[in-house]
Amino acid sequence: MKVKDLKELLDAEVFCCEDNLERQVDSACGCDLMSDVLAYVKDQGALLTGLVNPQVVRTAVMMDMICIVFVRSKEPTEDIVALARDNGIVVLNTSKRLYEACGILYSNGLTGKATKS
């Protein structure tokens, strides 16, 4: 699906990099532990997390991800948004909880497995 589909499914707000809403994401991961993302994630384009700090953005940059979704209405601070903008990563925020947000995306075809690997 495209980032904009993901945004609509989660009824999410966009904080930066609207230009990248047309980009394709084939898989995602939901995680609050950044070291686990760094260890196990491969080519997942979206990161859903309840953790809100700049390390989430840096982790997403390291993994070449396309977008970050902050769950449970957690507002990213301006420094977080600025860092994401600088690195071309779309930042979204949804009122849904992590489990629910992941479930919605999964049942709409966004799996946890990257198609290219």
Partner 1 sequence: MSEPLVFHFDIDGEDFISAGQASIQIKKNLRRLGLSPETIRRVSIAMYEGEINMVIHAKGGEADVKVYEDRIEIILADKGPGIKNIDEAMQEGFSTASDTIRSLGFGAGMGLPNMKRYSDSMDIDTTVGVGTTVTMVIKIQ
Q: Which residues bind partner 1 (CB under 8 A)?
A: 32-36, 38-39, 51, 53-56, 58-59, 61-64, 87
Identify which of residues 9 and 50 has a Cβ nearer to partner 1 in the complex.
50
Q: How far is the CB of 51 from partner 1 (least distance, A)?
A: 5
Cβ closer to partner 1: 19 or 39? 39
And the tokens for 15? 């904080």
Pick 49 or 94: Cβ nearer partner 1:
49
DSSP letter assigned to residue 3: H
Q: From the CB of 70, what's the least distance to partner 1, in Å?
A: 13
Measure CA of the first residue to CA of the last residue in the chain; give whole Å: 17
User: In the 8-state DSSP scheme, what is residue 2?
Assistant: B
Q: What is the DSSP string of 10-76?
A: TTPEEEE-GGGGGSB--BEEE-S-HHHHHHH--S--EEEES--SHHHHHHHHHTT-SEEEE-TTPPP
CB of 95 to partner 1, least distance (A): 22
CB of 34 to partner 1, least distance (A): 4
> What pairs with residue 46 in β-bridges?
28, 67
Name the residue nearer to partner 1 (CB basis): 88 or 103. Answer: 88
